[in-house]
């Protein structure tokens, strides 16, 4: 921004574009607290990376500096995606369902088990799986990022935080029971080590 301002001032379209890009950049490194925001960043981050890189090369001649800045920025965005905290969003639908149930007759045990699929209690957000992708596709290493209780869906992402698959509770339960999808034991230790390396960047 400084180099552009010194060369061209601020009364031009390029300056406006730089300001808009800066706003997007700041928003992209904020903590992620909603599924909508998680999906949006996953879909738009690569375009934003390229746009920022092009603007830096247009106003800064130091290739090494630009490479370091872009690398650190990408790592920060990916870290925010990996650390997405969607607990509050998951709790809200549960509270609404609880309030509605109070105004109606108390469901029987049969209603609870047949009308509301559930996943095993030992399966939680943040766990890694060798995820079944289909008969003719190779299994993929994915993290369970979001549990949508109200929609009975699970969202899985890759190590970059990009959405890879959505599965229903019933579908995933069957895959776990038949061992088509399997938990990756010990992956959390690797993830903690990776964060220890990337966080200082």
Pseudo-torsion of CA 180, 186, 188, 194, nearest 10°? -110
Q: Taking the model in full, what pTM does it have?
A: 0.40
- Two tokens, residue 28: 């992209």
Helix or strand holding residue 96 (H, E): helix 87-102
Q: Where are the domains of the chain?
A: 2-82, 109-198
- What confidence category does residue 199 fall into, taking pLDDT thresholds of 50, 70 and 90? low
Q: Tens digits of per-residue pLDDT, 33-91?
A: 888 888 888 888 888 888 888 877 776 667 777 788 888 888 888 888 888 777 655 54
pLDDT of residue 97: 40
pLDDT of residue 16: 78
Q: Tens digits of per-residue pLDDT, 139-167?
A: 999 888 888 877 788 998 888 888 889 99
> Residue 165 has what DSSP assignment?
E
User: Is the pLDDT higher at 159 or at 188?
Assistant: 159
- Two tokens, residue 74: 């990408």
**How far is Cα 14 from Cα 3, in angstroms, rounded to an integer?**
12
Angle at 27 between CA 6 and CA 128, to 5 degrees: 135
Computed from CA positions of residues 61, 62, 65, 70, in that sequence, does the dihedral angle turn out positive or negative? positive
Whether the pLDDT of residue 102 is over 60: the answer is no
pLDDT of residue 180: 93
Whether the pLDDT of residue 104 is over 70: the answer is no
> Residue 181 has what DSSP assignment?
S
pLDDT of residue 103: 47
> Residue 25 has what DSSP assignment?
H
Q: Tens digits of per-residue pLDDT, 9-26?
A: 777 677 777 777 788 888
Q: Tell me the CB-side half-sphere exposure of residue 115, using CA atoms within 13 A.
A: 6
Quickly name the fold that domain 109-198 has: SH3 type barrels. (2.30.30)
């Amino acid at each position: 921004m400084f180099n552009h301002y010194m060369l061209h001032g601020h009364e031009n379209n390029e300056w406006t574009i730089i300001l808009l890009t800066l706003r997007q950049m700041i928003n992209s490194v904020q903590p992620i607290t909603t599924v909508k925001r998680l999906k949006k960043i996953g879909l738009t981050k690569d375009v934003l990376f390229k746009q920022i890189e092009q603007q830096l090369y247009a106003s800064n001649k130091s290739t090494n500096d630009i490479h370091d800045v872009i690398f650190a920025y990408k790592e920060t965005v990916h870290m925010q995606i990996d650390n997405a905290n969607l607990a509050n969003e998951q709790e809200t639908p549960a509270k609404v369902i609880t309030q509605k149930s109070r105004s109606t007759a108390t469901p029987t045990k049969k209603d609870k088990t047949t009308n509301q699929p559930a996943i095993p209690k030992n399966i939680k957000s943040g766990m890694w799986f060798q995820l079944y992708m289909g008969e003719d596709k190779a299994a993929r290493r994915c993290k369970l990022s979001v549990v949508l209780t109200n929609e009975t869906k699970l969202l899985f992402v890759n190590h970059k935080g990009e959405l890879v698959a959505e599965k229903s509770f019933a579908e995933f339960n069957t895959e776990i029971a038949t061992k088509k999808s399997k938990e990756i034991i010990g992956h959390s230790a690797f993830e903690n080590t990776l964060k220890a390396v990337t966080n200082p960047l």
